[in-house]
């Protein structure tokens, strides 16, 4: 994809998390030219931990999104990806306050906002075909409630915006410390340890590759309008995820399933017909290919080349 025939000026929040680093890598690999401002609590630590990262016309803004000194002048786009851990008691306060600040920034700078919401706004569902953008919102976690309230806040303003309801993703910058299934299973496979499940392995999710996510994100930023589900529509159970990771890593350790866990079989699968129709995008990598890419990138980083 290409931006319009000018160098866009973009403010990115959450630039040092999974979404942010995945986007930065995609911009770098695809030689996308833009003026990029990234809010970072610890910019020096970020640069030291990510020596691969270099984009011309990129500037790191030190501090928290809630109180940092924002740049002046006109901006074309804001990508609001910043969040805090879902279990943090301040999740709603942070989500609403940070979103309100970015809306104010957009109103003063003339920027269009892409807000990274979450499929968590839908709550729990049991049909793989149920989650369209018109599905009623029934969040049951503090994180989902916070995201739904932020969406409501955005839709009440006159800021030009697009909302991406993000589902589950997989890529080299996955967070291994938040104890989601994909990160835990990948970490176990990397260390040759058994994969352990806290549930019965029947919950169904889908995993969009981080590169696909980054390209879709930029398509939404430039051409999107309204609300879109963002994710893969290929369902896999937690057990199938574990088996695919083991097979791709060539591991043979036992997969340990908690047979005493409740027999949940809910789904976290988006209907993506709207984004496919409006932006002509498709998932390009399957789960095995995404895992192979993680293995190759980890080998490259470990080599020090």
The confidence band for 304, taking pLDDT boundaries of 50, 70 and 90, is low
Kindly tell me if the per-residue pLDDT of 202 is higher than 90. Answer: no
What's residue 176's pLDDT?
A: 85
Rounded Cα distance, 171 and 181, in Å = 13
Which pLDDT tens digit goes with each residue over 129-174? 679 999 999 999 999 999 999 999 999 999 999 999 999 999 999 9
Q: Are 294 and 172 in contact (CB under 8 A)?
A: yes
Kindly tell me if the per-residue pLDDT of 47 is higher than 90. Answer: no
Rounded Cα distance, 233 and 84, in Å = 26
pTM for this prediction:
0.94
Instruction: Give me 52's structure tokens.
Output: 């691969």
More confident residue, 53 or 185: 185
Residue (of 119, 103, 122) closest to 111 by Cα position = 103
What's residue 260's pLDDT?
A: 62
Kindly tell me if the per-residue pLDDT of 93 is higher than 70. Answer: yes
Kindly tell me if the per-residue pLDDT of 102 is higher than 80. Answer: yes
What's residue 300's pLDDT?
A: 75
Report the pLDDT averaged over residues 48-71: 90
CATH homologous superfamily of 9-172+207-231+269-284 equals NAD(P)-binding Rossmann-like Domain (3.40.50.720)
The distance from CA 19 to its chain's CA centroid, rounded to whole angstroms, is: 4
> What is the pLDDT of the chain when averaged over all its residues?
91
The residue with tokens 């496979």 is 189
Q: From residue 60, how far is each of 37, 75, 76, 230 by CA, in Å?
A: 6, 16, 18, 27
Kindly tell me if the per-residue pLDDT of 303 is higher than 80. Answer: no
CB contact set of 234 (below 8 Å; sequence gap of 6+): 206, 283, 286, 287
How crowded is residue 249: how many other Cβ atoms within 10 Å of its Cβ?
19
The confidence band for 242, taking pLDDT boundaries of 50, 70 and 90, is very high
| Three-state SS sequence of the chain | CCCCCCCCEEEEECCCCHHHHHHHHHHHHCCCCCEEEEEECCHHHHHHHCCCCCCCCEEEEECCCCCCCCCCCCCCEEEECCCCCCCCCCHHHHHHHHHHHHHHHHHHHCCEEEEEEEHHHHCCECCCCCCCCCCCCCCCCHHHHHHHHHHHHHHCCCCCEEEEEECCEECCCCCCCCCCHHHHHHHHHHCCCCEECCCCCCCEECCEEHHHHHHHHHHHHHHCCEEEEECCCCCEEHHHHHHHHHHHHCCCCCEECCCCCCCCCCEECCCCHHHHHHHCCCCCCCHHHHHHHHHHHHHHHHHCC
Instruction: Give me 72's structure tokens.
Output: 């002046």
The distance from CA 103 to its chain's CA centroid, rounded to whole angstroms, is: 20
Kindly tell me if the per-residue pLDDT of 46 is higher than 90. Answer: no
Kindly tell me if the per-residue pLDDT of 128 is higher than 90. Answer: no
Q: Are 91 and 84 in contact (CB under 8 A)?
A: yes
Pick from 12-21, 50-59, 123-132: least confident: 123-132
Which pLDDT tens digit goes with each residue over 214-240? 999 999 999 999 999 999 999 999 999
Instruction: Give me 57's structure tokens.
Output: 């016309």
More confident residue, 178 or 205: 205
End-to-end CA distance of the chain: 29
């Amino acid at each position: 994809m290409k931006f319009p025939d000018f160098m866009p000026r973009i403010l990115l929040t959450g630039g040092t998390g999974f979404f942010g680093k995945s986007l930065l890598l995609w911009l770098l690999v695809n030689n996308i030219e833009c003026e990029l401002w990234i809010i970072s609590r610890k910019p020096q630590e970020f640069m030291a931990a990510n020596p691969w990262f270099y984009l011309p016309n990129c500037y790191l803004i030190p501090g928290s999104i809630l109180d940092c000194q924002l740049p002046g002048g006109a901006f074309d786009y804001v990508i609001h990806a910043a969040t805090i851990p879902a279990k943090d008691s301040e999740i709603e306060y942070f989500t609403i306050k940070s979103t309100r600040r970015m809306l104010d920034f957009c109103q003063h700078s003339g920027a269009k906002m892409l807000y990274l919401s979450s499929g968590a706004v839908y709550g729990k569902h049991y049909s793989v075909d149920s989650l369209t953008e018109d599905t009623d919102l029934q969040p049951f976690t503090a994180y989902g409630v916070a995201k739904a309230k932020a969406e409501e806040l955005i839709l009440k303003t006159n800021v030009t915006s697009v909302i991406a309801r993000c589902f589950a993703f997989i890529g080299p910058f996955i967070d291994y410390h938040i104890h989601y299934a994909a990160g835990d299973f990948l970490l176990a496979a990397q260390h040759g340890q058994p994969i352990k499940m806290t549930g019965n392995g029947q919950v169904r999710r889908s995993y969009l590759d981080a590169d696909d996510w980054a390209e879709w994100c930029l398509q939404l930023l430039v051409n999107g309008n309204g609300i879109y589900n963002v994710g893969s529509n290929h369902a896999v159970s937690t057990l199938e995820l574990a088996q695919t990771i083991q097979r791709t890593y060539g591991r043979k350790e036992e997969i340990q399933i908690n047979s005493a866990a409740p027999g949940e079989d809910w789904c976290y699968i988006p209907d993506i017909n709207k984004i496919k129709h409006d932006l002509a995008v498709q998932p390009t990598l399957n789960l095995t290919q995404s895992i192979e890419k993680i293995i190759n990138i980890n080998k490259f980083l470990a080599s020090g080349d």
